Amino acid sequence: MTAATPLRHLSVPRCRRTARWLAACAAALLAACGTTQFEAESVIPQPLVTRIPVVVGVHLPPAFREAVHREKRDGVEYAISVGKSQAAGFDRLMNAMFTRVVPVGSLEAGAVTDADVRGVFEPVLEDFSFVTPRDTGTPLYAVSLKYRINAYTPAGVAVDSWTFTGYGAQAGSPVPGQGKLALQQAASLAMRDAAAKIAVEFREQAIVRSLIEPTAPLVEAPVQPPPP
């Protein structure tokens, strides 16, 4: 009996260490099987472009303004909100690129809302996809956003569309639990990349060129510094 006494005393801290280790493992498993939820935010700088001398209508459907990508992968549920940020960014870009932008409640409301409206644009988020280090074997989180901008006459007749993709990547941190932040930053960079493509390429697309009269003079947009 005397020999058992020190063994009993020595087993207490060992049991405590085992309990702490099991608790840590349980917490990690719960985190892995939980929900990764966040809102992607991206500050779109004021594009320094030549303003297009056309009045256009813009229709932002609820599916675009309230877009949330939901996906379950490897036991993790993702809920990534992009609607608020992408709607604000698109509105900011259109107002910087055209003489005047008129919000319209429907595709058919352009003509009755403002007689000067030459056409109506409607943005659509066609696809949201992402990869994690577990998918690729690299330390990167990457997001791609596929957009389509539909063009309509002021009366709501479909004319044309333009499709493009924004891409963003962010290196993950070795610190456990930091994947959410890296994925959020990758989504923000993807929206910023999509915005840059609109600023640089949109005016050269047929859906914009068809609205511009060949003799219409170009109006320089006031140069504004990007937000801090």
pTM over 0.85: no
pLDDT tier for residue 22 given thresholds of 50, 70 and 90: very low
More confident residue, 7 or 151: 151
CA distance 40 to 207: 29
pLDDT at 47: 78
CB 195 within 8 A of CB 42: yes
pLDDT at 17: 53
Closest CA to 160 of 111, 206, 108: 206
pLDDT digits (tens, 9 = 90+) for 161-205: 999 999 999 998 766 566 789 999 999 999 999 999 999 999 999
Q: What percent of the chain has pLDDT over 90?
A: 57
pLDDT at 48: 78
**Contacts of 54 by beta carbon, 8 Å cutoff, 6+ apart:** 98, 99, 118, 119, 211, 212, 216
pLDDT at 215: 46
Is the pLDDT score of 49 beyond 60? yes
Query: Which 8-state DSSP code applies to residue 189?
Result: H
CA distance 44 to 196: 9
CA distance 10 to 84: 58
pLDDT digits (tens, 9 = 90+) for 112-163: 999 999 999 999 999 999 999 988 888 999 999 999 999 999 999 999 999 9
More confident residue, 150 or 45: 150
Torsions phi, psi of 9, nearest 5?
-70, -40
pLDDT digits (tens, 9 = 90+) for 81-101: 999 999 999 999 999 999 999
Is the pLDDT score of 29 beyond 70? no
pLDDT at 222: 45
